Amino acid sequence: MIGKVGIECAERGMLPDWIIRRGIRRLCRERLKAIKSATSLYPDNSELGQIAYETEAANQQHYELPPEFFELVLGSRRKYSCCFFESSDQSLDEAEVNSLKASCDHAQVYDGANILELGCGWGSLTLWMAESFPNSQITAVSNSQPQRKFIEKRAAERNLSDRIQVITADINSFAPKRVFDRIVSIEMFEHVRNHEMLFERMWDWLTPEGKLFVHVFCHREKTYLFDVEGPSDWMSEYFFTGGIMPSAELLPKIANGWTLEDSWLWDGKQYQLTAEAWLRLIDQNKQKVLACLAEHYGKYSQRWFNRWRIFFLAVAELFGFADGQEWVVKHYLFKK
């Protein structure tokens, strides 16, 4: 078990990456042992009165940082989720495009469709769809004002404003006034605790022939929660409060009334390559990143720089564990 002293040393930048990586792999083994011996780690959703919890914490941890930070550590499309590398020597920018194309193909997006994106991040998919399907209308939903402003600025720069509407809303209270041909969601369902309620609501947001596409990271067998119970729950505390690691079969199992039309699996090495690319960028742009973090964290900017590095290391090691066969990425296409 990695204790407080080890974490403190890592956050102060006193440990080399190889020691941090070894510690993360040890935690991965401990996590596997714990979840495989547990009978059920998913809550009884009949007792949950809302879709997601800790939505404000998620905002503060990821989405309220200055957009300039993500411009320094992500690829040119600002895709803050798993990318797809056709080969290990492809660039991050190429992998971003690969994954955006794959998502649109798997979602069966077509020109002229009315599309709702839930959890749009920094707009990578929304902007891609607006560029690729010029007769479509995209409604993008995020719980972050900085993300809305960033996407609206990018859309204006690319003459796409007439195709995109960005809404700032909490998923718990979001209620669209129209129906859509497609709902797409990239790595938002991991912030949801009551998936049944969300599936019920999305049913009413789609046309009779509409379809739902979901991209999630997951464990191949077990669902577990990101709760803070001790020092080893560092990621839960600083980067994923209120989150969930779904199993590969969780969403099809609880999508009552929906038909799973198709699904796809990317092994964890795709996320490993993505996170390693983010790590290289944060290191390459260290001084600019530190200046950006200082605007948000003040005198703690160096500590937070180290925390973000540890976060990228943790993502890389988790998804690269067991040659990418334990933690993976799934795409699902559901229809009504």
Handedness of CA 214, 218, 224, 226 (dihedral sign): negative
The span from the CA of 325 to the CA of 319, in Å, is 8
Give the residue, 271 or 11, on which the prediction is more confident.
271
Among the listed residues 172, 333, 320, the one whose alpha carbon sits nearest the alpha carbon of residue 252: 333
CATH code of residue 198: 3.40.50.150
119 and 63 in contact (C-beta within 8 Å)? no
pTM listed for this prediction: 0.93
> Each residue of 140-155: pLDDT tens digit?
999 999 999 999 999 9
Instruction: Calculate what percentage of the chain has a pLDDT beyond 70.
Output: 90
Among the listed residues 174, 177, 323, the one whose alpha carbon sits nearest the alpha carbon of residue 185: 174
- Band of the pLDDT at 1, cuts 50, 70, 90? very low
What's the structural domain count of the chain?
1
Handedness of CA 118, 121, 125, 130 (dihedral sign): positive
Instruction: Calculate what percentage of the chain has a pLDDT beyond 90.
Output: 78
Among the listed residues 115, 177, 119, 173, the one whose alpha carbon sits nearest the alpha carbon of residue 144: 119
Residue 35: per-residue pLDDT: 87
Coil vs helix vs strand at 319: helix
Residue 57: per-residue pLDDT: 52
Residue 152: per-residue pLDDT: 98
Instruction: Tell the residue number behind the tokens 């925390």, with chain if given.
Output: 307
Residue 2: per-residue pLDDT: 59
C-beta contacts of 57-61 below 8 A and 24+ residues apart: 57/241, 57/242, 58/143, 58/191, 58/240, 58/241, 58/242, 58/243, 59/143, 59/144, 61/238, 61/239, 61/240, 61/241
pLDDT at 37 over 90: no
Handedness of CA 198, 200, 205, 209 (dihedral sign): positive
Rounded mean pLDDT, 169-184: 95
110 and 152 in contact (C-beta within 8 Å)? no
> Each residue of 203-257: pLDDT tens digit?
999 999 999 999 999 999 999 988 766 655 787 788 888 889 999 999 999 999 9
Residue 213: per-residue pLDDT: 99
> Each residue of 276-330: pLDDT tens digit?
999 999 999 999 999 999 998 999 999 999 999 999 999 999 999 999 999 999 9
pLDDT at 269 over 70: yes
Domain membership of residue 71 as a residue range: 4-335
Residue 125: per-residue pLDDT: 99
Coil vs helix vs strand at 146: helix
213 and 331 in contact (C-beta within 8 Å)? yes
